[in-house]
Structure 1
Amino acid sequence: GFRAWRDIEGAQEIVEGVLPAVVTAQKGLNVPRIASLKGIMAAKKKPVDIRTLDSLGLPAEDLAPRVAVEQITLPPSRPPGKILKGEVSEVVPQLIKLLHEEAKII
Structure 2
Amino acid sequence: MSSVDVRVGERLIAARDAVGMSQRDLEQYSGISQPTIHRIETGRREASILELSALADACGVLIADLQGNSTVADRVLCAGRTNDTGTQALAAYMIYAFGLSQRLDELGVSAAA
Q: TM-score, normalised by structure 1?
A: 0.17
| Structure whose CA Rg is larger | 1
In the superposition, the TM-score normalised over structure 2's length comes to 0.16
